[in-house]
């Protein structure tokens, strides 16, 4: 899985300035609310009265917030829930319909069906819940005000804060139940969609078991299992748009077993039902359920160690470098030249036995890229080597024992390649300055190589003039798996956080706008939330100080002009008043405005953590925490704003 | 009764809406199938848009099968499917940049539901999967998977584009070239031969897999599959009458060319046999006269529409030339002896040097003299217009008609010539014909054995033992790579006699031969053997050196080199090689010899024109244009 950022909650909160931003948001919300109230009241009653009203509101705010009675909040919440039960049912029905239709589009789901399923389900859940959140929140308060039903509440001893908060709680509860049902249904839908088994179309005949000679089968395949002695030329029946091949493998104890290949991200256990007495090879087999999909790997990634970064690269002469780009647009992976001194060093920390499910074999997962500068032997994959070595204290370089082990392997591109490293490694080397190296030493992974939990992993490409590409997340220790269901729940927790933000935002808008305006405004802001990154990019690239870095085409009005007149992006606009007006509106009004708005709502795309689930990784706790913190702080901020806006109405009415 | 102003406003809006309905109805009214049992299937014409849809075969049912998923997608996008398509294209590109290929595949699947009848999308994305994405993978097995993904994508497009042959063309192209011509072709074809699952699951819906399952190919053959896809396309054009979307010249060539590729592939993958000879024969017939597999007209007999709108057939070349010669003879009858007189005058006007070159025997002319001779031939050519202008006045009208016919004929011949040379028609005709002869296949057999022997490091003959029919172990002498290559050259020399054009020029075959001969020479050097006196292709080397000098064949021995070497070793008497016999022109009768020579040239020129040499026809074309111009001037 592509991981471009490795955030840390504490660093994000304190050093990244998130806490400070929260304070700013709260202050801004309070001031903006009061200012709005003052302006409106000034128009109606004059500035003197307005000032009095605002001051009163400020002083009342403290007891108003402190004196919140949860009983009254709950009463308003129940009312909010009752009002929207019908919409709840309709949304649920739409989701069920989406599931039914979604099945058509998902089909077999390609090579990794769980990825399509997760992407679709999370997208559907996000969109539906967002719309639901806007719809339930947008009309509630404005309608109460329009139809004057709000008087039945405000005439009671209910505070403005309780009216706002009650709605927030009520709608959130309703949304939470909706999300829980959607999550449960979609999990069942996905598991059922992916669940399957296979059969062999008919008994496997002798000639359909192809012997493996010199590492290849008679039809030119490299066997999928390196232990294979025979591989089937026939495939199983096709289910969910894929089929499996079988192999007879020789196990370490000399016995034989039949295994199925890993296709579509999973494999199956195979039970032999009948052996061919002539050849002693299986004739009839039975496939078990799918195994290996819907998982949640727990990775331990390389981390910075003090001043040293998590990943360091050296070039072909051994000098530190930022890595080679082999000409790809996306420079996520940096490449290491083969047959040279070029390396990539990953620094790991916290490798203790208790973190690993299986302490006898430590799984090292590789997700490497390969780039060939010449064809080479097309039947062989590019070879690389991994060196695991202990971390030596810089003050003891003269005396310390350097312990390391080298593991050569053939790379497998675009798939997770697992190297199972035994805890007791036989062919280790111990090296001390001024002494001959001691080779073939038995080293303990945790005691010798990862002593103190720290370990350096160096990767080299062996084949000359071929390249191996790495990124920080390309190599990690696979400590074990967590439950997929639990991971799924955490994924939906992020969607819930997004829903909470939208509800709070819409309620805040509904405190001072009419229902339809709130609806459009909220939906607009939700769209802004989804495309905030893009809008910020466009604004920055047009307004940026360095014209050479600016993208072609200008701002929204200029873009519209170019589309309508079919003008090339690089062609300058005609000189004249029209161009001046267009550029002025773009650069002075629209783009700065859009830029500011894009920062006013959270980036909703960050609440979609489906990638973790799709690619089978445990959702990073730090990422989840940041998402929840963003949503909660945004909710608090806009709720305070909503409270003051609601109060501003009273001010205006005063 | 008094109404509020808002009532009038609303009534106005209502009226306006009703008026607007009229043009909308006129434009967009759908056609309806009539319920009248006497007119079953007939439909009302509908609005303008409906009528245009029917006229241009653009209704969904005439374009493709109705796919509910696709229709739902289009409806669900509420008329914004153009925007959705843009977003999906961007998304697919971004996923591809980020190497999320499974997501590319899924996005493209969705994208195509929104644009199911836009063939370019199928073409682009199918190619993208089979070429761009497959090559991203290091493992050839992964590449094979993605090539098949691309092909499967095209197969999905068939039902959506029932009236467009380009999907089949693309299937033919990608199946043929990607599986049979890429760096990994050996591995791809090997896996494809046994890929029964793929054949039955994917191809089986469109074609009977047995059509391409051949014992001589060791199973399924990718070139044959490619051929069948093209054949499906031909079926659409010929039987279903779908409109043509590509130019004829390449379109009709593709199918027969795959049969040639098939013959070549099985001759390289396996030891050539009678089966491969038959395959070459079929390829020859499909290329020229009639495809014996599909029973369709062969490429040479196909009517090809040129870019100028004329219709030509490659195999009509000889007939057309005969017709032209007949017209020329008619012209001579109108002006007896004029052509010969003019010719003699032109020869007499040549310089001394030109006459020396002209009288030099052809086999002694080197490259420079050959170039000179081409120039001289142009100087002494008598153009039809020159003859026509000297036709007596009473026959001028007939001469003008003949000139017109000549002009038209030469125009068509020129186009034929251009088109034939574009697709290398004569070369492939001769090549497939030569390969389908017994010496041709024997040459390939010996060559195959030589490669195998060289791969095992066996260059020279060796003694071996084998068990005979009676079970006795007997000693046998087996050839090494050198002797096997020698045999192969002997067979090639024999086979190529009937097709002299194959050994001429810069064809692929010439390149291959030179490469093989060079390889043979290096094997001789390795084992320390001398170049054999009776080397079967010695004439070929000598001819190349004589005509083109030593370019590309620096390391090969010509007869002169062999003689010199022998003299150096004292194997021959130390006498200079005989000087080439150069005929000196008879000063009293320079015309006699040169006329004979020119006759020979003319025959050779004709042969060249027939086999695709452009020069002669080019000149003739120019002459014709001049004649035509003169005739018009006279008229």
A609/A651 Cα distance (integer angstroms): 43
Q: Measured in whole angstroms, how far is the alpha carbon of residue B587 from the centre of its chain?
A: 50
DSSP E strands, B295-355:
296-297, 304-305, 311-312
Residues A312-352: tens digit of each pLDDT: 999 988 889 988 889 888 889 999 999 999 999 999 999 99
The pLDDT score that the predictor gives to residue B627 is 35
The pLDDT score that the predictor gives to residue B207 is 87
Given the structure tokens 């998977």, which residue do they identify?
B145
Instruction: Give this prediction's pTM.
Output: 0.80
From the list A107, A119, A382, the residue facing B138 with the nearest CB is A382
Please list every residue in chain A whose beta carbon sits closer than 8 Å to the beta carbon of residue B196. 233-234
The answer to whether the Cβ–Cβ distance between A378 and B190 falls below 8 Å is: no
Residue A362's alpha-carbon distances to A424, A482, A618, in angstroms, are 10, 16, 18
The chain A residue lying nearest B144, using CA atoms, is A221
Spatial contact of A197 and A266, defined as CB atoms under 8 Å apart: no
Please list every residue in chain B whose beta carbon sits closer than 8 Å to the beta carbon of residue A370. 138
pLDDT band of residue A17 (cuts 50, 70, 90) is confident
pLDDT exceeds cutoff 60 at A471: yes
Comparing CA positions, the residue from B168, B591, B116, B542 lying closest to residue B345 is B591
Does the beta carbon of A374 lie under 8 angstroms from any beta carbon of chain B? no
The pLDDT score that the predictor gives to residue B630 is 35
Q: How far is A561 from chain B (nearest CA, A)?
A: 18
B38/B56 Cα distance (integer angstroms): 27
Q: How far is B263 from chain A (nearest CA, A)?
A: 21
Q: How far is B377 from chain A (nearest CA, A)?
A: 51
The fraction of chain A above a pLDDT of 70, given in percent, is 96
pLDDT band of residue A519 (cuts 50, 70, 90) is very high
How is A104-145 classified by DSSP, letter by letter?
HHHTT-SS-HHHHHHHHHHHHHHHHHHHHHHHHHHHHHHHHH
DSSP E strands, A416-465:
417-422, 424-431, 438-444, 455-461
Comparing CA positions, the residue from A651, A618, A636 lying closest to residue A488 is A618
The pLDDT score that the predictor gives to residue B437 is 95
The pLDDT score that the predictor gives to residue B523 is 94
Please list every residue in chain A whose beta carbon sits closer than 8 Å to the beta carbon of residue B186. 220
Spatial contact of A269 and A291, defined as CB atoms under 8 Å apart: yes
Looking at the DSSP bridge assignments, the partners of residue B159 are none
The answer to whether the Cβ–Cβ distance between B106 and A109 falls below 8 Å is: yes
The pLDDT score that the predictor gives to residue A41 is 77
The pLDDT score that the predictor gives to residue B44 is 60
A470 vs A594 pLDDT, higher one? A470
The pLDDT score that the predictor gives to residue B613 is 35
A467/A461 Cα distance (integer angstroms): 6
pLDDT along chain B (635 residues), means of 10: 80 90 79 54 66 70 62 74 89 91 85 87 94 92 92 90 91 95 92 87 84 91 95 92 89 96 94 94 96 95 92 93 93 92 92 89 81 90 91 91 92 93 94 95 94 93 86 88 95 91 84 91 91 91 83 77 82 54 40 38 35 35 36 33
Interface test with B, best of A2, A220, A461, A611 (most B CBs within 10 A): A220
What DSSP state is assigned to residue A34?
H
The pLDDT score that the predictor gives to residue B604 is 36
The pLDDT score that the predictor gives to residue B482 is 95
Interface test with A, best of B77, B100, B137, B138 (most A CBs within 10 A): B138
The pLDDT score that the predictor gives to residue A242 is 84
Residues A540-563: tens digit of each pLDDT: 888 877 766 667 788 889 999 998
The pLDDT score that the predictor gives to residue B60 is 63
List phi, psi (to 5°) of A285: -135, 165
Interface test with B, best of A372, A414, A471, A474 (most B CBs within 10 A): A414
Computed over every residue of chain A, the mean pLDDT equals 87
Given the structure tokens 């916290």, which residue do they identify?
A350
Residue A334 burial by Cβ neighbours in a 10 Å radius (0-12, 13-18, 19+):
buried
Residue B626 CB coordination number (10 Å): 14
The pLDDT score that the predictor gives to residue B573 is 61
The answer to whether the Cβ–Cβ distance between A104 and B141 falls below 8 Å is: no
Q: Which two structure tokens, joined as six digits, stand for A165?
A: 């908060």
Comparing CA positions, the residue from A382, A389, A296 lying closest to residue A337 is A382
The answer to whether the Cβ–Cβ distance between A413 and B113 falls below 8 Å is: no
From the list B98, B105, B197, the residue facing A235 with the nearest CB is B197
Looking at the DSSP bridge assignments, the partners of residue B543 are none
B430/A370 Cα distance (integer angstroms): 45
Please list every residue in chain B whose beta carbon sits closer than 8 Å to the beta carbon of residue A375. 183
Residue A596 burial by Cβ neighbours in a 10 Å radius (0-12, 13-18, 19+):
exposed
The pLDDT score that the predictor gives to residue B284 is 97
From the list A243, A369, A379, the residue facing B197 with the nearest CB is A243
pLDDT band of residue A394 (cuts 50, 70, 90) is confident
The chain B residue lying nearest A98, using CA atoms, is B76
Spatial contact of B284 and B569, defined as CB atoms under 8 Å apart: no
Residue A8 burial by Cβ neighbours in a 10 Å radius (0-12, 13-18, 19+):
middle
For chain A, percent helix, then strand, then coil, each to nearest 5?
Answer: 50, 20, 30
Q: How far is A174 from chain B (nearest CA, A)?
A: 27
Residues 100-159, chain B, touching A (beta carbon < 8 A): 100-103, 105-106, 109-110, 113, 136-142
Dihedral of CA atoms A505, A510, A513, A518 in degrees, nearest 10, equals: 60
How many cross-chain Cβ pairs, A to B, lie less than 8 Å apart?
76
The pLDDT score that the predictor gives to residue B594 is 38
Does the beta carbon of A222 lie under 8 angstroms from any beta carbon of chain B? yes
pLDDT exceeds cutoff 80 at A100: no
């Amino acid at each position: 899985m592509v991981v471009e950022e490795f955030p840390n909650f504490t660093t994000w909160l304190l050093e990244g300035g998130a806490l400070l931003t929260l304070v700013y948001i709260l202050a801004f919300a309070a001031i903006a609310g009061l200012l709005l109230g003052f302006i409106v009241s000034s128009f109606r009653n004059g500035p003197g009265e307005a000032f009095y009203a605002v001051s009163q509101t400020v002083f009342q705010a403290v007891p108003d917030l402190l004196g919140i009675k949860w009983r009254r909040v709950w009463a308003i919440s129940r009312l909010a829930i009752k009002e929207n039960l019908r919409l709840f049912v309709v949304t649920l029905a739409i989701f069920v319909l989406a599931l039914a239709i979604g099945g058509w589009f998902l089909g077999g789901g390609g090579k990794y069906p769980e990825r399509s399923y997760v992407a679709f389900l999370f997208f559907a859940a996000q969109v539906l819940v967002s719309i639901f959140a806007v719809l339930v929140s947008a009309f509630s308060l404005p309608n109460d005000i329009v139809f004057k039903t709000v008087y039945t509440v405000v005439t009671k001893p209910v505070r403005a804060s309780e009216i706002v908060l009650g709605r927030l709680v009520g709608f959130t509860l309703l949304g939470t139940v909706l999300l829980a049902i959607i999550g449960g249904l979609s999990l069942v839908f996905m598991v059922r969609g992916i669940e399957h088994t296979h059969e062999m179309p008919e008994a496997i005949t002798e000639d359909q078991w192809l012997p493996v000679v010199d590492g290849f089968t008679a039809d030119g395949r490299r066997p999928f299992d390196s232990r294979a002695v025979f591989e089937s030329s026939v495939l199983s029946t096709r289910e969910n748009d894929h089929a499996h091949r079988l192999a007879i493998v020789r196990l370490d104890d000399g016995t034989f077993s039949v295994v199925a290949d890993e296709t579509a991200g999973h494999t199956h256990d195979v039970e032999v039902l009948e052996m061919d007495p002539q050849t002693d090879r299986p004739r009839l087999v039975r496939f078990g359920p799918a195994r290996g999909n819907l998982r949640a790997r727990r990775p331990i990634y390389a981390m910075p160690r003090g001043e040293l970064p998590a990943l360091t690269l050296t070039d072909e002469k051994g000098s530190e470098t930022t890595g080679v780009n082999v000409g790809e647009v996306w420079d996520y992976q940096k490449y290491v030249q083969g047959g040279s001194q070029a390396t990539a060093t990953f620094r790991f920390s916290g490798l203790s036995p208790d973190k690993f499910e299986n302490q006898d074999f430590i799984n090292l997962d590789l997700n490497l890229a390969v780039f060939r500068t010449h064809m080479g032997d097309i039947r062989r994959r590019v070879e690389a080597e991994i060196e695991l070595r202990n971390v030596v204290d810089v003050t003891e370089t003269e005396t310390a024992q350097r312990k390391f082990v080298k593991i050569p392997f053939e790379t497998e591109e675009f798939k997770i390649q697992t190297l199972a490293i035994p805890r007791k490694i036989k062919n280790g080397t111990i090296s001390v300055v001024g002494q001959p190296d001691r080779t073939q030493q038995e080293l303990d992974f945790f005691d010798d190589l990862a002593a103190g939990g720290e370990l350096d992993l160096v990767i080299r490409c062996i084949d000359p003039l071929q390249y191996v590409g790495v990124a920080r997340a390309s190599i990690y220790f696979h400590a074990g798996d967590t439950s997929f269901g639990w991971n799924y729940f955490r994924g939906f927790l992020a969607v819930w956080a997004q829903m909470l933000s939208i509800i709070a935002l819409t309620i805040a808008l509904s405190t001072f706008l009419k229902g339809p305006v709130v609806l459009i405004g909220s939906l607009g802001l939700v769209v802004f939330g989804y495309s905030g990154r893009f809008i910020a990019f466009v604004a920055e690239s047009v307004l940026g100080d360095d014209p050479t870095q600016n993208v072609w085409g200008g701002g929204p009005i200029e873009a519209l002009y170019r589309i309508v007149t079919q003008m090339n992006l690089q062609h300058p606009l005609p000189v004249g008043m029209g161009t001046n007006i267009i550029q002025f509106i773009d650069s002075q009004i629209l783009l700065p405005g859009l830029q500011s708005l894009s920062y006013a709502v959270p980036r909703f795309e960050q609440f979609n953590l489906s990638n973790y689930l799709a690619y089978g990784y445990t959702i990073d706790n730090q990422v989840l925490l940041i998402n929840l913190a963003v949503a909660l702080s945004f909710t608090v901020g806009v709720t305070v704003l909503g409270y003051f806006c609601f109060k501003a109405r009273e001010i205006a009415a005063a | 009764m008094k109404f509020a102003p808002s009532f009038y406003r609303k009534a106005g809006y209502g009226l306006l809406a009703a008026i607007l309905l009229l043009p909308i109805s006129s434009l967009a009214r759908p056609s309806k199938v009539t319920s009248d049992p006497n007119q079953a299937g007939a439909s009302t014409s509908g609005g303008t848009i409906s009528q245009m849809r029917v006229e241009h075969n653009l209704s969904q049912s005439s374009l493709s099968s109705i796919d509910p998923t696709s229709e739902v997608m289009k409806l669900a996008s509420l008329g914004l499917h153009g925007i959705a398509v843009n977003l999906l294209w961007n998304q697919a590109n971004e996923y591809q940049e980020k190497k999320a290929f499974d997501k590319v595949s899924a996005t493209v699947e969705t994208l195509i539901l929104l644009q199911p009848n836009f063939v370019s999308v199928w073409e682009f994305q199918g190619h993208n999967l089979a070429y761009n994405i497959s090559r991203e993978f290091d493992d050839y097995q992964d590449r094979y998977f993605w090539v098949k993904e691309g092909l499967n994508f095209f197969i999905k497009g068939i039902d959506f584009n029932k009236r467009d042959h380009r999907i089949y063309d693309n299937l033919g192209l990608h199946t043929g070239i990607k599986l049979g011509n890429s760096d990994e072709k050996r591995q791809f074809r090997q896996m494809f031969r046994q890929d029964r699952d793929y054949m039955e699951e994917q191809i089986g819906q469109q074609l009977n897999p047995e059509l391409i399952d051949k014992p001589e190919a060791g199973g399924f053959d990718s070139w044959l599959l490619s051929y069948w896809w093209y054949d499906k396309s031909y079926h659409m054009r010929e039987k279903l009458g779908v409109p043509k979307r590509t130019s004829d010249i390449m379109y009709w060539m593709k199918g027969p060319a795959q049969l040639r590729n098939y013959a070549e592939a099985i001759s390289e993958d396996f030891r050539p046999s009678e089966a491969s000879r038959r395959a070459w024969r079929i390829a020859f017939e499909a290329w020229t006269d009639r495809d014996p597999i599909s029973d369709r007209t062969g490429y040479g007999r196909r009517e090809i529409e040129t870019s100028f709108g004329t219709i030509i057939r490659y195999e009509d070349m000889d007939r057309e030339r005969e017709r032209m010669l007949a017209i020329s003879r008619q012209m001579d009858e109108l002006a007896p002896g004029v052509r010969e007189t003019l010719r003699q005058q032109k020869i007499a006007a040549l310089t001394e040097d030109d006459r020396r070159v002209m009288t030099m025997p052809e086999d002694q002319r080197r490259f420079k003299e050959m170039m000179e001779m081409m120039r001289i031939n142009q100087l002494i050519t008598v153009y039809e217009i020159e003859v026509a202008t000297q036709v007596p006045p009473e026959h001028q009208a007939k001469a003008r008609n003949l000139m017109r016919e000549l002009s038209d004929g030469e125009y068509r011949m020129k186009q034929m010539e251009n088109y034939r040379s574009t697709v290398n028609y004569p070369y492939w005709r001769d090549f497939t014909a030569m390969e389908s002869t017994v010496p041709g296949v024997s040459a390939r057999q010996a060559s195959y054995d030589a490669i195998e022997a060289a791969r095992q490091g066996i260059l020279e003959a060796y003694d071996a033992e084998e068990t005979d029919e009676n079970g006795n172990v007997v000693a046998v002498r087996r050839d090494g790579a050198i002797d096997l290559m020698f045999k192969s050259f002997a067979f090639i020399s024999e086979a190529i006699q009937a097709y002299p054009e194959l050994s001429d020029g810069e064809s692929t075959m010439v390149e291959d031969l030179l490469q093989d001969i060079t390889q043979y020479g290096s094997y001789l050097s390795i084992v320390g053997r001398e170049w054999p006196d009776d080397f079967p292709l010695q004439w070929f080397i000598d001819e190349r050196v004589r005509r083109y000098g030593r370019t590309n064949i620096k390391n090969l021995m010509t007869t002169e080199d062999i003689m010199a070497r022998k003299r150096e070793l004292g194997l021959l008497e130390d006498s200079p090689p005989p000087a080439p016999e150069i005929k000196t022109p008879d000063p009293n009768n320079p015309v006699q010899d040169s006329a004979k020579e020119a006759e020979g040239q003319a025959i050779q020129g004709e042969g060249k024109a027939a086999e695709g040499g452009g020069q002669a026809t080019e000149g003739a074309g120019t002459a014709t244009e001049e004649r035509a111009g003169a005739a018009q001037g006279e008229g």
